[in-house]
Amino acid sequence: MTQSPLEAAAIAITGAGAGLGRAYALAAAEAGASVAVGDLDLASAAAVAAEIQAAGGSAVAVGGDVRDPRAADDLVGACRAAFGRIDGFVANAGMLRPGDAVDVTPDDVAEMLATNVAGVVHGVGAAMRALREDGHGGSIVTVASGALQGMAGLSLYGATKGAVMSLTYTWALEGADAGIRCNAIAPLAHTAMSELSSASERYRGGPPERVAPAVVHLLSAASAPLTGQIVRFDGRRLGLMDPPMLRVLTEREHWDVADVAEALTGRLAETVAPVGLLASPRPTWV
Ligand SMILES: NC(=O)c1ccc[n+]([C@@H]2O[C@H](COP(=O)([O-])OP(=O)(O)OC[C@H]3O[C@@H](n4cnc5c(N)ncnc54)[C@H](O)[C@@H]3O)[C@@H](O)[C@H]2O)c1
């Protein structure tokens, strides 16, 4: 790989004022990119942009709430206005409110869907429109989470990340004809958000900077063959998540309740996979 994998590229990142997004912005700039630093909190976005500029890089800070579709166009527009182009977009902004099914409030549902799902849809939609218009392809990185595999206390949060995973698969298909790739990172790092999760210390991860190289790679041309993938990275262990797949089938012309029961407790029962991030079968090490 070259020393500057993002030389001459312009990248927009949401939620880049703190945590993982900040680390992605700093690493992208170090890899040669000009960065549009988006965040709900303009002051923190401005501080990150100033940090990039102080190190000799190019950055612009953009305040905006990903829940507002106009903010997506503003961020992408600011990137193109400041740097004359856009090559990559990281839909990083997200929020987490823990709670079991019995505790989740209507406000939790509305806020988490608006930020983690609608916010990503608005952002990627705006980025896709701009990348298609410019016609030189590009790379979109969405942000999933191991919680999508199932984690007690994080059902709603995990579900929003399951939605992101599914969106990523389809966006990879939709962008292919225009050379627009879409992959997700499922990170793990110690941030303000990870303090909120019920996960034990062991699962809080290390500093966000350690995750950033994977995002820089996904944004760069060096990852060209990769699209529609969920990359799991905690700064130490790097892996790929399998997409959900129909693994086993059984067929008959007519099914009654007893047939279903017989199949699901018999032949199919033998193939049942465990659920939950912490119950996953051991991955293959390579
Ligand atoms: N930290 C982890 O271990 C972990 C694990 C899996 C996935 N993630 C995901 O990574 C992403 C970043 O997480 P983090 O841990 O850095 O979180 P964080 O809370 O530390 O930082 C989130 C940033 O996003 C901004 N933001 C929040 N809501 C916004 C909105 N509506 N509009 C614009 N900006 C907004 C915040 O101001 C903040 O700067 C999230 O999508 C999160 O779900 C994090």
For 61-118, what is each residue's pLDDT tens digit?
A: 999 999 999 999 999 999 999 999 999 999 999 999 999 999 999 999 999 999 999 9
Per-residue pLDDT band for 2 (boundaries 50, 70, 90) equals very low
Q: What is the dihedral of CA 200, 203, 207, 208, to 10 degrees?
A: -120
H helix intervals, the chain: 19-30, 42-54, 69-83, 106-112, 119-134, 155-175, 192-196, 212-219, 257-265
Q: Which residues pair with 182 in a beta bridge?
A: 140
Per-residue pLDDT band for 205 (boundaries 50, 70, 90) equals confident
Amino acid found at 106: P
The β-bridge relationship of strands 238-241 and 230-233 is antiparallel
Q: For residue 214, give the nearest of 116, 141, 136, 147 by alpha carbon.
A: 141
Q: What is the CA radius of gyration of the chain?
A: 20
CA 10 to chain centre: 19
Q: For residue 124, give the nearest of 81, 85, 93 by alpha carbon.
A: 93
Residue 40 CB less than 6 A away from ligand 1? yes
Residue 150 CB less than 6 A away from ligand 1? no
CATH class, 10-241 region = alpha beta
Told to judge if 169 belongs to the known catalytic residues of this protein, a careful annotator would answer: no
Spans of all domains in the chain: 10-241
Report which of residues 151 and 281 the model is more confident about: 151
167 contacts: CB under 8 Å, gap ≥ 6: 117, 120, 121, 124, 142
What spacing in Å lies between the alpha carbon of 20 and ligand 1's midpoint? 7
Indicate if the pLDDT at residue 198 is higher than 70.
no
What spacing in Å lies between the alpha carbon of 284 and ligand 1's midpoint? 30
Residue 158 CB less than 6 A away from ligand 1? no
- DSSP state, residue 61: E
Indicate if the pLDDT at residue 201 is higher than 60.
no
What spacing in Å lies between the alpha carbon of 38 and ligand 1's midpoint? 12
Indicate if the pLDDT at residue 200 is higher than 60.
no
Place of tokens 């182009």: 85
Indicate if the pLDDT at residue 3 is higher than 70.
no
Question: How big is the chain, counted in residues?
Answer: 286
As a whole number, mean pLDDT of residues 214-230 equals 97
Per-residue pLDDT band for 263 (boundaries 50, 70, 90) equals very high
Q: Are 56 and 34 in contact (CB under 8 A)?
A: no
Report which of residues 267 and 108 the model is more confident about: 108
Q: Which residues pair with 60 in a beta bridge?
A: 36
Indicate if the pLDDT at residue 195 is higher than 90.
no
Amino acid found at 94: G
Determine the Cα–Cα distance for residues 49 and 29; give it in Å rounded to an integer.
Answer: 10
Determine the Cα–Cα distance for residues 272 and 281; give it in Å rounded to an integer.
Answer: 12
Instruction: Please name the residue whose Cα sits nearest to atom 4 of ligand 1.
Output: 188
Per-residue pLDDT band for 248 (boundaries 50, 70, 90) equals confident
Q: Residues 24, 34, 139, 157: which is the catalytic one? A: 157
Burial of 233 (0-12, 13-18, 19+ CB in 10 A): buried
What spacing in Å lies between the alpha carbon of 275 and ligand 1's midpoint? 25
Residue 145 CB less than 6 A away from ligand 1? yes
CA pseudo-torsion sign 114, 116, 119, 120: negative
Q: Residues 161, 194, 220, 223: which is the catalytic one? A: 161
| Most distant CA atoms of the chain, gap in Å | 70
As a whole number, mean pLDDT of residues 142-146 equals 97
Told to judge if 157 belongs to the known catalytic residues of this protein, a careful annotator would answer: yes
Report which of residues 279 and 14 the model is more confident about: 14
Amino acid found at 140: I
pLDDT, the chain, mean: 95
pLDDT for residue 251 = 94
- Total-model pTM: 0.96
Told to judge if 24 belongs to the known catalytic residues of this protein, a careful annotator would answer: no
